[in-house]
Structure 1
Amino acid sequence: MAQVLEFKLPDLGEGLTEAEIVRWLVEVGDVVAIDQPVVEVETAKAMVEVPCPYGGVVTARFGEEGTELPVGAPLLTVAVGAAEGSSGSAASPSSPSSPSSPSSPSSPSSASSSLSSPSPSPSPSSGSGTESSGGSGNVLVGYGTGAPAARRRRIRPDRLDRAVAEAPVSVAPVVAAPVAEVLVAEAPVHEGPVPVVSPLVRRLARQHDIDLRRLAGSGPDGLILRADVDRAIRTAEETAAATARVQAPVAAVVAAPNGVAAASDAERIPLRGVRGAVADKLSRSRTEIPDATCWVDADATELMAVRAAMNAATGPSAGPKVSVLALLARICTAALARFPELNATVDTAAREIVRLPGVHLGFAAQTERGLVVPVVRDAHTRNAESIGAEIARLTELARTGKLSPAQLTGGTFTLNNYGVFGVDGSTPIINHPEAAMLGVGRIMPKPWVHQGELAVRQVVQLSLTFDHRVCDGGTAGGFLRYVADCVEQPAVLLRTL
């Protein structure tokens, strides 16, 4: 007999608390296999295809495309064993069934952005004869699997209704609710001291008039975390925005002459997805980090000549082309080895500077979805050629929207080449929670005094924005001067290679 199981939006990792439904990959009535992607969602980090841990018939979907759901909200329900509940007719070759939709997704093994990790926990499998008990091993956080993917089928509506009607529901009935109601559950008023993870969270709640006594903490023993306060802030803002939208037409009628409602020419663009994540991170950076910027002009003529010589080399020892960004990245790792104070972060709650053992180098990349910062792992162990190859690989994934959340987090220092936009200088905002960012302007011919004479040289402006808590101006200036020296005299790098 069939069971109706509810599949909730899983924990996508990396601290993500919500996701926006971009595209449904299945319809109500479709037969899905274990681990088959059923929906494409956009998080603040990347586009992700979410596989379903159950095999059976889709009986309901929750949320239209464009809806933002929190982690733990219902995504869909699946009648597990519904094919057998229909006397095997759905699996029989002679049974009529609807053809597969053109939007039918590929198997999880071919979906580069699907989430998977090993787990011994099995999940219910469909009664379909196309599934085996071997298990694919693909799991989401909180869900296990027990069978490989099978092709998509659709059950006739009359058989679906009969199967669902006869199925014992193993979960509580799902009631559709507004997103704002799902985000923050109603919690009783705390009596006495409220358990909060840090003074920063208390200050954030105070700044936004959030009553901590009415929040249900998601941490251990009800501890209120920053994510709980952020969620409450978003809910309050959504409620205020909804109220404003309702009241706006009335206000327009009152304010307009002769009682005619005046149309507004303003366009409102929601801050969500990648754009919302960038806005939150930049705001937090400027709020928490006392940043300062220093800059210097450097003669990059010799660096450009060295790069040209590298790329012109032929023979068995000649490797792939090396980009300017790769050379600058290698210079950064050498500079951080000399000035480790800048490869750090600040633990605000503990009031400690945390110096990090390895360099995970982020680089800013502009995509159609907005600004993203892919991370080159263990950049301190790579040479310029290896760094360049990894930058090229991550850039291609960024352009196609296939970067995973793990590839966009964990950076310890960021390199920002804004010269590609044709500008000379900038004062970058630090990529929180890092301690510094190096900005690089365009390299262009300029008059320059070289060996005592005026000459036309390839000049670039370098700017370093740093967290003044981790070091003083002397350290920051020493770092930037070393970078400039390597740009002007690439042979300086030979001492550290």
Structure 2
Amino acid sequence: MAQVLEFKLPDLGEGLTEAEIVRWLVEVGDVVAIDQPVVEVETAKAMVEVPCPYGGVVTARFGEEGTELPVGAPLLTVAVGAAEGSSGSAPSPSPSSASSSLSSSPSPSSGSGTESSGGSGNVLVGYGTGAPAARRRRIRPDRLDRAVAEVLVAEAPVHEGPVPVVSPLVRRLARQHDIDLRRLAGSGPDGLILRADVDRAIRTAEETAAATARVQAPVAAVVAAPNGGAAASDAERIPLRGVRGAVADKLSRSRTEIPDATCWVDADATELMAVRAAMNAATGPSAGPKVSVLALLARICTAALARFPELNATVDTAAQEIVRLPGVHLGFAAQTERGLVVPVVRDAHTRNAESIGAEIARLTELARTGKLSPAQLTGGTFTLNNYGVFGVDGSTPIINHPEAAMLGVGRIMPKPWVHQGELAVRQVVQLSLTFDHRVCDGGTAGGFLRYVADCVEQPAVLLRTL
């Protein structure tokens, strides 16, 4: 007999409390396997495929694409044990057995009855269990057993005959909130409907109504024209949510909390480019993969932070303390179709340029395909921002809160430059450092930036410290 289990939006980790449904991967009536991804959601940090811990037939979905749901809200319901009864040779259950089999069941987080009911038993925090997804197949309602067909058509059991309610209070409460008691499965003895069952139905109805209102509500605000006359009804409004909303919140918080300052310097990158060309031209057993300019700059940053640890820090505003961090987790800004993201190279201070470059390439590909996990986008201690790829020379970057500094790199381009007392055409780059003035003064920031510039102009300076 089929048992209908409710799967709720799990805790996705990293303090995330809500997610937006981007794309449903299953339809009502599909057969799903245990731990098969059923929906793609977007959090404030990443795109996530959410696996379902139950195997069976999808009987209902909650929320349309574009709906934002809080953690713990129902995602879908699955009829477990229905596929075995769909061959047509098994006898159909009686109405009474169908009604009793559709009783409410614990959510995946309750931990009870999961294994016996077809669940994986695995904790759904992060990205599920990673089990391979089975090929989807769909069963029409007329091929399911009678109990599952009732759920697909009515989405809730309908009591035949007297409704099992004893308390007048329960009846009055249901009447006040337009709850149809015939569609409730009681959790009391012999299916008795209790007040807790009605309260649960009221909460579900309110959550559904709120979600529908968020999706369907028209824009109520009116944008006044500059002359105070007619409203600009054709103005486009773009919700600040998901990655865009997270970026907006972080940048606003950075500007509000951090007293930042910026210093910059032009540097002759001709020698750095020559060293890179020599590295990539090397052949033989010792020759490794190509090294990018960004990887070399990242390695220079880790060396500079070892000399100026004040900038590898954060400020605990509650305790009024500067917290200097023991390791460098280097973030780098990456522009994607979903917006600006900052993947983090863990323990960058322990890596050489080749290792940093390989990790940057791996994380960049994950960012491009929208597969970065929240853990890969958090925990940075210093950020490298190569805005030169957009064809600009300089910028005053906003610090990636709660970090204490960010190094910005403009485009490297030929410019007139005085080299060894003579005017020459050299490869010049502008470097800018935005720093939290609470963690250090201008002398420290200037020393950091000058060391970076010296390494760019004379790579031997870096080699001397390795």
TM-score, with structure 2 as normaliser: 0.76
Task: State the alpha-carbon separation in 1 of the partners of residues 130 and 49 from structure 2.
Answer: 19
Deviation string for 1:286-337 (max 9, x for gaps)? 1111111111111111111111111111222111111111100000000000
Cα distance, 1:276 vs structure 2: 1.0
Shift of the 244–321 alpha-carbon distance from structure 1 to 2, 3 Å rule, reads same
Higher alpha-carbon deviation: 147-156 or 66-75: 147-156
Shift of the 291–114 alpha-carbon distance from structure 1 to 2, 3 Å rule, reads farther
> Does structure 2 retain, via aligned residues, the 8 Å contact 1:112–1:402?
no
Deviation string for 1:78-135 (max 9, x for gaps)? 1222234558759999xxxxxxxxxxxxx99999999999xxx999999999999999
Task: State the alpha-carbon separation in 1 of the partners of residues 398 and 136 from structure 2.
Answer: 47
Cα distance, 1:143 vs structure 2: 11
Shift of the 37–429 alpha-carbon distance from structure 1 to 2, 3 Å rule, reads same
Cα distance, 1:357 vs structure 2: 0.9
Shift of the 303–123 alpha-carbon distance from structure 1 to 2, 3 Å rule, reads same
Q: Secondary structure at the match of 1:191?
A: coil
Deviation string for 1:382-407 (max 9, x for gaps)? 11111111111111111111111111
Cα distance, 1:141 vs structure 2: 2.5
> Does structure 1 retain, via aligned residues, the 8 Å contact 2:299–2:353?
yes
Shift of the 146–2 alpha-carbon distance from structure 1 to 2, 3 Å rule, reads farther
Q: Which runs of 5+ in 2 are unaligned?
A: none
Task: State the alpha-carbon separation in 2 of the partners of residues 192 and 347 from structure 1.
Answer: 64
> Does structure 1 retain, via aligned residues, the 8 Å contact 2:88–2:143?
no
Cα distance, 1:32 vs structure 2: 1.3
Q: Secondary structure at the match of 1:69?
A: strand
> Does structure 2 retain, via aligned residues, the 8 Å contact 1:358–1:380?
yes
Shift of the 387–29 alpha-carbon distance from structure 1 to 2, 3 Å rule, reads same
> Does structure 2 retain, via aligned residues, the 8 Å contact 1:31–1:153?
yes
1:402 equivalent among 341, 366, 371: 371
> Does structure 1 retain, via aligned residues, the 8 Å contact 2:100–2:191?
no
Cα distance, 1:162 vs structure 2: 2.4
Shift of the 199–61 alpha-carbon distance from structure 1 to 2, 3 Å rule, reads closer
Asked which structure has the greater CA Rg, the reply is 2
Deviation string for 1:207-227 (max 9, x for gaps)? 999999999999999999999
Shift of the 243–191 alpha-carbon distance from structure 1 to 2, 3 Å rule, reads same
Cα distance, 1:414 vs structure 2: 0.3
> Does structure 1 retain, via aligned residues, the 8 Å contact 2:44–2:241?
yes
Matched, 1:152 2:152: no
Cα distance, 1:274 vs structure 2: 1.1
Higher alpha-carbon deviation: 202-211 or 467-476: 202-211
What does 1:49-60 align with in structure 2 at a 5 Å threshold? 49-60=49-60
Q: Which runs of 5+ in 1 are unaligned?
A: 94-106, 165-179
> Does structure 1 retain, via aligned residues, the 8 Å contact 2:67–2:211?
no
Higher alpha-carbon deviation: 263-272 or 207-216: 207-216
> Does structure 2 retain, via aligned residues, the 8 Å contact 1:83–1:127?
no
Deviation string for 1:423-478 (max 9, x for gaps)? 11100000111110000011111121212222221111100001111111111111
> Does structure 2 retain, via aligned residues, the 8 Å contact 1:50–1:115?
no
Quote the residue 2:211 is aligned against: 242
Q: Secondary structure at the match of 2:385?
A: strand
Deviation string for 1:186-243 (max 9, x for gaps)? 9999999999999999999999999999999999999999999999999999999999
Higher alpha-carbon deviation: 374-383 or 263-272: 263-272
> Does structure 2 retain, via aligned residues, the 8 Å contact 1:51–1:115?
no
Task: State the alpha-carbon separation in 2 of the partners of residues 225 and 460 from structure 1.
Answer: 72
> Does structure 1 retain, via aligned residues, the 8 Å contact 2:330–2:384?
yes
What does 1:6-405 align with in structure 2 at a 5 Å threshold? 6-84=6-84, 139-141=123-125, 150-158=134-142, 160=144, 162-164=146-148, 264-405=233-374
> Does structure 2 retain, via aligned residues, the 8 Å contact 1:73–1:182?
no
> Does structure 2 retain, via aligned residues, the 8 Å contact 1:31–1:152?
yes
Task: State the alpha-carbon separation in 2 of the partners of residues 55 and 305 from structure 1.
Answer: 59
> Does structure 1 retain, via aligned residues, the 8 Å contact 2:327–2:349?
yes
RMSD (CA atoms): 12.9
Q: Percent identity?
A: 99
Q: Secondary structure at the match of 2:219?
A: helix
> Does structure 1 retain, via aligned residues, the 8 Å contact 2:8–2:107?
no
Cα distance, 1:253 vs structure 2: 11
Shift of the 241–151 alpha-carbon distance from structure 1 to 2, 3 Å rule, reads closer
Aligned residue-pair number: 466
